[in-house]
A and B are shown apart, each in its own frame.
Chain A
Amino acid sequence: MSGQTRHRLEAALFIAAAALPLALQAFGEDYYIGFATRLLIFALAATGLNFIVGYGGMVAFGHAAFFGIGAYTVALLMAAGLFTAWIAWPVAVAAAALAALLIGAVSLRTRGVYFIMITLAFAQMIYYSVISLKFAGGDDGLSLEQRSTLVPFDLADPATLYWVTLVLLAACLAALKRLAASRYGHALTGLRQNETRMEALGYPVQQIKLVCFVIGSSVAGLAGALLANQNGMASPSQLYWTQSGMLLVMVILGGVGQRFGGMLGAITLLGLEEILGRLTEYSHFYVGIALLGVVLFAPRGLAGLWGRQK
């Protein structure tokens, strides 16, 4: 596929996605606008994780921590009386970035299985800390009084929240493309292929990896802020390790290191769960089989099926 064709295809996809709420409203299926928003939010979180796993070569098993931190930041700020998204969402991103900086600085001293375990451990520490905090709602989570205000947009309207999410996801994917082609992106590619060589060439390897970890985690923070708005609450389940696992499954399903991998994986996984959930009680069983199929027959994920794209 040539660059221009792909460009047009991406533009067409974006327009189709933007038109979706109008179509759903026309058919009176307003429920699905919220569902579609959820898909996009998870697509955003998984895209952030894919940057860490696929571009940075670090299998992080604690992505839920940053996802949850984003949600709780918005909920806590709202409980304190701050409603505007213009401040709350950037703060949510910054909080996730700061947590990633601290966790990453320690975790990146390890690699491989140890990195998986230590990121998981940190994420679980955050989970248990949050559920033991009274002012954060403990086990019940923290509900939002209303959605964030994003003057001049009205996020109480489901379609508006959908569009805002869509624009943020598209911007994030575009930035990712740009990032991959930059000097920094080249350095990441080198790092993934041969860390010893990069070290010998004098690259500040730890710093490059830490920056990657922080960028990917910040994206999760933004996704978390959006999910809190969509769900009307920040819930502990968002911080739990199963959430990290699910995000990793999305990335693997969609295609590790493929730019659209996180998005495709999130949409496929949540879509399958929704559809199968209506047909059978054992939806997880069939989702598992679908995942097995992808791992066996399309090791580069769904995005890998239609050509290389980075």
Chain B
Amino acid sequence: MLMMNQGVNTQTIASVDPNSLEGRYVVDVSQGQTSSYNPTAYESEAASWTMHRVDNHSTENGILSNSSYHHDHQTQQLARSAQDSLNTASLAGSSTQGTMSVTQDHSSYAAYNPTDPYGYGSSGYSSYYNNGYQQQPNHAYSQQQPSHSYSQQQPSHSYSQQQPSHSYSSTGGAYQNTGAPYQPLSSFQNTGSYTGTTSYSTTYYNPGDYQTAGGYPSSGYSNQTSLWNDPNNANYTSQQYSTYAPDTTSAYSSGTAASTSMNYEQHYKQWADYYSQTEVSCAPGTEHLSAASTSNLGSAVSGVYPTSNTQPPASFTPASWRPESASSELPSLQTGATISSTHNGWKQGTPSFQNHHASPMQPHFQISLESKASYDNIQEQQQTAPQAPNSQFPAAHQVTQSYQSTLQNAPSLDTRRVSRMQIPTNPRIASNLALGLSKTNKDGPTNSAAAKPAYISVSMPKPNDKVLSNDATNSMLKPGMFPNSLRRYVERAFNLCKDDTQRVACQAIMKEIITKATADGTLNTRDWDAEPLFAIPNAEAVNMDSQCPTPVSSLSRYKRSPGRRSKSRWEPLPEEKSVDKPVSISNDIVKYDGWERKPPSVNSESKWNALNNMKFSLLEQRFPSKNTQRPAKRQHLADGLNAANNDASSDSDKEQSLTAYYSSAISIANTPEEKKRRESRSKRFEKGQGHRAEINHLKQKNAGAENLYSRRASALMLNKSFDDSGSKAVEDIDWDALTVKGTCQEIEKRYLRLTSAPDPSTVRPEEVLEKALLMVQNSQKNYLYKCDQLKSIRQDLTVQRIQNQLTVKVYETHARLSLEAGDLPEYNQCQSQLKTLYAEGIEGCHMEFAAYNLLCVILHSNNHRDLVSSMSRLTEGAKKDKAVKHALAVRAAVTSGNYVMFFRLYKDGPNLNTCLMDLYVEKMRYKAVSCMSRSYRPTIPISYIARVLGFSRTSDGNDEKDSDGSGLVECVEWMNTHGACLTSDSCGEIQLDTKASSSSLYMPEPEDAVAHGDANLAVNDFLTRTSL
């Protein structure tokens, strides 16, 4: 079947014009995803997927995914819906798989989404295109996003392979451009032996992707890089695959930035790995390939199909898919299943084969659509494949993602095709190979186009514009420079296209117009903005896209959450966990990228870039090590950031990659364009480097730690990247999206302040937290340890948004502990939390803490208004409570200065009221002694003072004899330190000379006073804390 499909695809591709393909893609993006997934072909696979998915569901990722989905929906309903549909499909099938990947993605998404809305304004797009590539990073996102997502996944997962695949997806655009060359590739893919070749193609793409990714980080570069990548891809596809992969990649990377180069190198390595893998797996792979390819085909088809649905492109087997596509979710599942199967294959050893196959399959599909699309698919598949090795489920997720990316790519392909329209016919592909820059330019357009397609599918008008602009930009890049107005014009034209057929027609017309304009030299002079649009057949396809996605998205959200849960199960398993998580992340990212590309892409792009940068750096680091190692090992390496860091091989790889990158960079650097780009890039680079530094830092920190830490680090990195991109306002963060369902089973966990979205694998679920609380309560260790543990419990509760009796218990426990330790700041935190928790009606020791609160206000804030207001808030019932009564009595004693009453209350305070009073004792005693020395004459026996002021241990006179001594000594000591004048009377009893003391009393400086006022920050104490 796969072979058949591929063949069909290739044929269809050949038959279909690039333009038509583009148009289809655009349309497909929205519909395609939904419909394509449905394909029944996968149903059988779907079952397997469901199994996997179930597992995924068990993991907690699902929750995250849900939240993230929400975001997506909001920002880009269309895109999201498409993605969601994919996700949902996966979810529906297995639900878990989708969720798995989704979860991580969600976190990232949430961040993205917020950004998207902002960034996304149409202006953002225009700027995108116009700016070209300052914003291109964003654009790049659409392409890069996939790559980014992958990169992210890789960091977390250590998916060296996946990353390449990601890069592929991004480069997908380039591939599309190279459609012709790719077709051969697709043929390769079809043949089992081809896996190797396919891998090459993918590798090429990967380099491109990587470059783009790198470029994105660098910022200015994204376009250029993408361009570069595309040329590379084109070149590669046409010829030099093996050679190009390294060279071109390096060159590209240089164009983008050092970071990109890094990526490239890694990519190369990865590619090499891939190749090796693919080769090895070939034999087994063939079988798998068939399955994988089928699945891939399905996925590819899905991507293609959307377009086909809207458009006539029945040529593809997709037609069958299309019917299936009716349920987008199913298709995604199926694809996911196929992917998973491929993944499985990878794991088995054949995996490489499967992956390859899958990629070929995708290429076929994409090829059918466009060469680029196929590439994207391939990349995606590869990515998924890496993920698959980690966990079949993740793989499934990845697959879905890959589908999305394919979809995106498809659009990009379309746009590229527009440019390519010229290009394919043009000898430029060859020239591109020769001319790194020129090629890169083309690629850039393609990339941007790819990004645009995503947009198109998602946000009806904007995406189209973007796509158009991308196309235009691509075309411009190819010929030299198309004016922005032309881009807009093209965008407008495409916007009007309602379905794929229209787009195809539109593209054809556009080509004519542009060629004409170029021929008569009016291309740059004409006022394209004012140019009337040619008539377009229909204008409904766009709407279709938008409609379809939204429902799907909602579904996907839901489905994803289960998937996350499944993750949790996996987590316990070290390898699987790491793999799964990364995979899921990458998948999510990919998906998001795809989705975001459409409408949100603008906003998200910057974030994505940041993320990409981050990820890339990580990926790069990881990749080298992975490349050197076997595929399986690679995964492991990728999984553990630490591992990558620790690996000497990785370092050497990096160096190599760097050198390669630099050399390539130098070669590239000559063009004036390149120089400009460099400037803009350098800025981005700074950012990217910063990211990397952060990442490294994180890694180092976590190096010693376990999986949890590495995961967290990756999560942190994600967050940071978000922050960096960070124009998003706090209120835009979708907290639902950031809600995590923890999977960590360890009872003990150190507190580490979250600086990023929480990683479910480091978060303990409620049952574990309960045990942890018990552990802390029964622990014999000191307060600092308990405080640390409780804070981590609180954190886990917070990120999982658990607000129930357990939460109250934890806060109460912590508040009590901090009271016992006299840690007021910590207590205040707990108290304020408890206030809201009680206000929500959760039961706890409400009265006890009302009393504490009262005491706190009375004794420590000394604010009459606060006191009055908190008193007025007490209910009648509360006033009858023993603890509250006590607190109110203390208040009365304090306001009247009744020290006798105060110290009586001090001695029999319920609960921990005494602890709070402790903090006021010194002040009260001083006041009391001042008062006494004014009003008593001539002397007061110390024994009386010791008794009244609570120095003696026992309450009041009865047991005085027993405790008398110690109380007296303490009291005398206290008197001495406060400058009191003591005398002895005839009986030898020590007396306070009140008259003399009245003028000599003073409040001594606290012994533990520190200059900064907070003894807790004292160095020694700090060190003891940290050494815990």
Do the two shown chains form a genuine complex with each other?
no
Q: Which A residues are closer than 8 A to B by beta carbons?
A: none
Q: Which B residues are closer than 8 A to A by beta carbons?
A: none
